[in-house]
Structure formats: C-alpha cells, structure tokens
Amino acid sequence: MALERTFSMIKPDATARNLTGKIVAKLEDAGLRVVASKRVWMSRKQAEGFYAVHKGRPFFDELCDFMSSGPTVVQVLEGEGAILKNREVMGATNPADAAEGTIRKEFATSIGENSVHGSDAPETAAEEIAYWFAGIEIVG
C-alpha cells in the first residue's frame, strides 16, 4: 500500500464539546500522522464551495449553515492507505450505523452533526487539501 495524504476536518459540534484531542488521538492510534493543522471558522461561502458536490441535495442548506456555525479544525493526515484508513476510523455517515469504536459512533450526535469529515478518494483528497492548505503549510 502506498503512503497517502487525506484531508480531515473536525466539525463545529466536536470543537464545541472540546473533543479535538480525543478525535486526533483516535486518528494517530490508527497510524495516521497529522502533517498540517489549523483552526478555521469558515464563512457560509467557503462551506458552499467546499461542499459544492452536494449542491441541490435536500440537506445542503442545513449542512452549510452548520459548517459555518463555529470553529473547525482542518488537517492533512498522512499514512499507508490514509484515505481508506481515515474513513474506517470515522465510521458511517449516520452515527446510528457506525461501527463500535469509530469516531462517529462515539461522538456524533446526528447524521448532520457527525463530528468529522474525511476525503473519500484520491481525487477529492487532493482537491480538499488544496482548498484549505498552501503547500508550504504541509510538513511531512
């Protein structure tokens, strides 16, 4: 398996409950390394741009309102098979369907307020990393 980078975000519901450290510990315990990290309170426009792929879905407005409602922590994670590994540690989108031990099972409160984001493929990982980080901010 190749060394990969993926984009991760700790969402406003989780920063509000001071869960950043607990979430990062789960990612690190799974072998993922934080190679870039910053705290961002995104604007509604930034949220709409980031989630443009979901434009037109019934939950789009609610999603953009939520993502711009408070601080997030945006990160780049590096590791062997990092994209899939991060998705495994995150758990299913709906916490009711998430496996035991996953971040969403443990911390998410609803399908909308589900504590973390993670890229789903190499192309989206590259796009999402570039959306939030300049190359100079990533230190592998």
Active site members? 117
Q: Which is nearer to ligand DAT, 63 or 138 (CB)?
A: 63
Q: Which of 30, 34, 46, 63 binds ligand DAT (CB under 6 A)?
A: 63
CB-based contacts of 6, cutoff 8 Å, min separation 6: 76, 77, 82, 83, 86, 118, 119, 125, 129
**Least distance between ligand DAT and beta carbon 93 (Å):** 3
> Does 59 engage in binding with ligand DAT (CB under 6 A)?
yes
Question: Would you say 4 and 122 are in contact if contact means Cβ atoms under 8 Å apart?
Answer: yes
Q: How far apart are CA 126 and CA 124, in angstroms?
A: 5
Q: Which of 8, 76, 83, 117 binds ligand DAT (CB under 6 A)?
A: 117
For 25-59, b/e burial (b = at least 16 CB within 10 A) is: ebbeeeebeebbbeeeebeeebbbebbeeeeeeee
Which one of the spans 2-10, 31-39, 110-118, 127-135 is the region binding ligand DAT (CB under 6 A)? 110-118
Subset of residues 119 to 138 that bind ligand DAT, contact rule: CB under 6 A: 120
Question: Would you say 4 and 125 are in contact if contact means Cβ atoms under 8 Å apart?
Answer: yes
**Least distance between ligand DAT and beta carbon 54 (Å):** 6
Adjacent-strand bridge partners of 116: 10
Q: Which of 114, 125, 128, 129 binds ligand DAT (CB under 6 A)?
A: 114
> Does 109 engage in binding with ligand DAT (CB under 6 A)?
no
**Least distance between ligand DAT and beta carbon 34 (Å):** 19
